[in-house]
Structure 1
Amino acid sequence: MSADLRPSAATRGRRPRSSVRQDWALSGALLLLLAFSLGSLSVLLTGGAWWLPPLLIAGLVLAAAGVVRVARPGRVLPLIAGAAALVCGLTLVFAGDTALLGLVPLEGSFERAGELVREGRISIAEQAAPADVTTGISFLVALALGFLALAADTFAFPLRAPALTAVPALALMAVPVVVRPGDFDAVFFVLTAATYLALLQLQRRRREPVRAFALGASALVLAFVLPGAVPSPSAAGGPGASGAASIGINPVIDLGQDLRRPNSTLAFTYTTSSTEAVYFKLTTLTRFSGDRWEPLQVQTQLENTVVEFADPPGLTDAVARTEVSTTVEIGDLAARWLPVPYPTTSIEGLEGSWFWERDGLAVRTPDANARRQLYTVSSLSLRPTEEQLDAAPSVSTPPQLTAVPDNLPENIAATAVEVTRDADTDYDRAVALQSFFTDGEFRYSEEAPVDGEFDGTGMDAVSEFLEVRSGYCVHFASAMAVMSRTLEIPARVVVGFQPGQPQFRDGEFSHFEVTTHDLHAWPELYFEGVGWVRFEPTPGRGDRPDYRAETTPDDPSTPEVDESQPTAQPTTAPTRAPVELPEDEATAGAPLGGGADASGPLLGAGILLGAVALLLVPAGTRVVRRRRRLRNVRSGAEPATAAWTETLDTARDLGIPIRSTETARVAAGRIAQGLPPDAQDAVSRLRQSVEAESYASTRVAPSPEDVDAVRDALSRLRGLGERLLAFLAPRSLLLMLPGSRD
Structure 2
Amino acid sequence: RRIGVLALGVALVVPLALPTLHGGLLGEAGSGVGAGNGRGGTISAVNPLVSLRDSLNVDDDRQVLSLRPSTGEVPDMYVRIVSLDDFDGTDWKPSQRHIGAVPGTFPEPVGLSEDVKRSTLRTVITAADWYAQDWLPMPYPPSGVRIDGNWRYEPVGMTLVGDHGQTTRGKTYQVTSLDLRPTAKQLAGAPKPPAALEREYTRVPARLPDVVARTAEEVTSGARNHYEEAVRLQDWFSVDGGFRYDTEVQVGRGANAIANFLKRKEGFCVHFSFAMAAMARTLGIPARVAVGFAPGTPQGDGSVSVSLKDAHAWPELYFQGVGWTRFEPTPTRGTTPAYTQPDAPSSARPDRELPSRGAAREPSAAATRGEDCATPPRSGACAGPSAAVAAP
Given the two structures, how large is their TM-score scaled by the length of structure 1? 0.40
Is 2:81–2:136's contact at 8 Å kept on the other side of the alignment? yes
User: Aligned residue for 2:131?
Assistant: 333
- The structural deviation recorded for 1:264 is 2.8
Determine the C-alpha separation between the residues in 2 that align with 1:292 and 1:445. Answer: 21
Alignment identity in percent? 38
State the partner residue of 2:327. 535
Q: Which residue is 2:93 aligned to? A: 294
Contact map agreement 2:207 2:255 (CA 8 A) in 1: no
For 1:535, give the aligned amino acid: F
1:300–1:366: 8 Å Cα contact kept in structure 2? no
Shift of 1:256: 3.0
Contact 1:252 1:521 in 2 (8 A): no
Map of 1:244 onto structure 2: 26
Q: How many angstroms does 1:262 deviate by? A: 4.5
Structure 2 partner of 1:423: 223
For the pair shown, the structure with the greater C-alpha radius of gyration is 1
Q: Residue type matched to 1:402 in 2?
A: T
* Structure 1 CA distance for aligned equivalents of residues 307 and 206 of structure 2: 39
Contact 2:26–2:132 (Cα < 8 Å) also in 1: no
Is the 2:269–2:330 contact (alpha carbons within 8 Å) kept by the matching residues of 1? Answer: yes
| Counterpart pick for 1:514 among 306, 313, 327 | 306
SS at match of 2:81: strand
Letter matched to residue 215 of structure 2: T
Quote the Cα distance in structure 1 between the aligned partners of 2:162 and 2:76: 26
Q: Is the 8 A contact 1:417 1:487 kept in 2?
A: yes
Alignment of 1:209-288 (within 5 A): 234=14, 244-245=26-27, 249=45, 251-272=48-69, 273=71, 275-288=74-87
Distance in 1 (alpha carbons) for counterparts of 2:331 and 2:344: 26
Q: Deviations over 1:165-216 (max 9, x none)?
A: xxxxxxxxxxxxxxxxxxxxxxxxxxxxxxxxxxxxxxxxxxxxxxxxxxxx
Once the 2 structures are TM-superposed, how far is the Cα of residue 397 of structure 1 from its aligned partner? Answer: 3.4
Distance 1:292 1:233, change over 3 A: closer
Q: For residues 82-231 of structure 1, what are the structure 2 equivalents within 5 Å?
A: none
Contact kept? 2:13, 2:52, Cα under 8 Å: no
Q: What amino acid does structure 1 have at the position aligned with 2:78?
A: Y
In structure 1, the residue corresponding to 2:174 is in which secondary structure?
A: strand
| CA distance in 2: counterparts of 1:308 and 1:356, whole angstroms | 11
TM normalised by structure 2 equals 0.73
Q: Residue 473 of structure 1 corresponds to which residue in structure 2? A: 269
Given candidates 177, 181, 205, the residue that maps to 1:405 is 205
| Aligned partners of 1:328 and 1:375 also within 8 Å | yes
SS in structure 2 at match of 1:439: helix
Is this contact kept in 1: 2:13–2:51, CA < 8 A? Answer: no
CA gap of 1:343–1:538, structure 2 versus 1, over 3 A, is: same
In structure 1, the partner of 2:3 is none
Q: Select the structure that is richer in strand.
A: 2
How much has 1:459 moved relative to structure 2? 4.3
Change beyond 3 A, Cα 1:436–1:550: closer
Instruction: Quickly say closer, same or farther: Cα 1:257–1:296, change in 2 above 3 A.
Output: farther
Q: Secondary structure at the match of 1:316?
A: coil
Following superposition, the deviation at residue 243 of structure 1 comes to 7.1
How far did 1:498 drift?
0.9
Q: Which residue of 2 aligns with 1:690?
A: none
Residues 661-694 of structure 1: CA deviation (Å, up to 9, x unaligned): xxxxxxxxxxxxxxxxxxxxxxxxxxxxxxxxxx
Q: Offset of 1:299 from its aligned partner?
A: 3.8
In structure 2, the CA distance between the partners of 1:425 and 1:266, relative to structure 1 (3 Å rule), is same
Name 1:453's counterpart in structure 2.
252
- Return the offset for 1:551: 9.8
Cα 1:275–1:262 change in 2 (3 A) is: closer
Matched residue, 1:689: none
Question: Where does structure 1 lack aligned partners over 5 or more consecutive residues?
Answer: 1-123, 129-231, 236-241, 553-591, 594-742
Q: CA deviation at 1:549?
A: 3.7
**Higher RCO, Cα 8 Å, sep 6+:** 2
Q: Tell me, what secondary structure is at the counterpart of 2:97?
A: coil
| TM-superposition CA deviations, 1:24-61 (whole Å, max 9, x none) | xxxxxxxxxxxxxxxxxxxxxxxxxxxxxxxxxxxxxx
Q: Look up the match of 1:308.
A: 105
Letter in 2 for 1:482: A
Task: Give per-residue Cα distances to partners, 1:441-467, cap 9 Å, x unaligned.
Answer: 11100101x2x234xxx5422111000
Q: Is the 8 A contact 1:309 1:356 kept in 2?
A: no
Could you tell me which residue of structure 1 aligns to residue 317 of structure 2? Answer: 525
One-letter amino acid of the structure 1 residue matched with residue 235 of structure 2? S
Distance 2:28 2:244 in 1: 26
Residue equivalent to 1:463: 259
The 1-side partners of 2:29 and 2:179 are apart by 25
Q: Which one of 298, 322, 329 corresponds to residue 502 of structure 1?
A: 298
Structure-2 residue corresponding to 1:217 = none
Structure 2 residue corresponding to 1:362, chosen from 147, 159, 179: 159
Equivalents in 2 of 1:387, 1:510: separation in Å?
Answer: 34
Matched, 1:546 2:322: no
Contact 1:397 1:490 in 2 (8 A): no
Task: State the distance in 1 between where 2:280 and 2:273 align.
Answer: 11
Q: Which amino acid aligns with 1:393?
A: P
- 1:544 is displaced (CA, Å) by 0.7
Supply the distance in 2 between the matched residues of 1:415 and 1:342 (Cα, whole angstroms): 30
Query: CA 1:258–1:252 in structure 2 vs 1: closer, same or farther (change >3 Å)?
Result: farther
Does the 8 Å CA contact 1:252/1:474 hold for their aligned counterparts?
no
CA contact (8 A) 2:99 2:153 kept: no
Partner residue, 1:679: none
Q: Is the 8 A contact 1:502 1:512 kept in 2?
A: yes
CA, structure 1 residues 255+233, in 2 after alignment: closer, same or farther (shift >3 Å)?
closer
Q: For residues 121-155 of structure 1, what are the alpha-carbon distances to aligned partners after superposition, in whole Å with 9 as ceiling and x for unaligned?
A: xxx959x8xxxxxxxxxxxxxxxxxxxxxxxxxxx
Q: Which residue of 2 aligns with 1:670?
A: none
Cα drift, residue 356 of structure 1: 2.5
Residues 255, 474 of structure 1: 8 Å contact kept: no
Q: Which SS does the other structure have where 2:27 is aligned?
A: coil
Distance in 2 between residues matched to 1:483 and 1:459, nearest whole Å: 14
Residues in 2 aligned to 1:361 and 1:428: alpha-carbon distance in whole angstroms: 27
Q: Is the 8 A contact 1:324 1:379 kept in 2?
A: yes
1:439 alignment partner in structure 2: 239
* Matched-pair contact (CA < 8 Å) for 2:289–2:316: yes
Distance 1:551 1:512, change over 3 A: closer
Whether 2:175 is the aligned partner of 1:377: answer yes
| Shift in alpha-carbon separation, 1:420–1:388, aligned structure 2, 3 A | same
DSSP 3-state at the match of 2:302: strand
CA root-mean-square deviation: 2.6
1:479-529 Cα deviation digits (max 9, x unpaired): 00000000010000000001111122xxxx432111111110000000001
Does the 8 Å contact 2:81/2:159 carry over to 1? yes
Corresponding letter in the other structure for 1:428:
E
Stretches of structure 2 that go unaligned for 5 or more consecutive residues are: 1-7, 16-23, 31-44, 346-384, 387-392
Q: Aligned to 1:394, which of 167, 192, 200? A: 192
Q: CA offset at residue 533 of structure 1?
A: 0.3
Letter in structure 1 aligned against 2:279: M
Secondary structure (helix, strand or coil) at the match of 1:338 reads coil
Q: Cα 1:335–1:473, aligned 2, differ >3 Å: closer, same or farther?
A: same
**Is the 2:245–2:267 contact (alpha carbons within 8 Å) kept by the matching residues of 1?**
yes
1:357 Cα deviation after fit: 1.4
Residues 498 and 397 of structure 1: CA distance in aligned 2, closer, same or farther (over 3 Å): same
Change (3 A) 1:233 1:384: closer
| Aligned mates of 2:155, 2:9 — CA distance in 1 | 24
Task: Note the C-alpha offset of 1:311.
Answer: 1.1
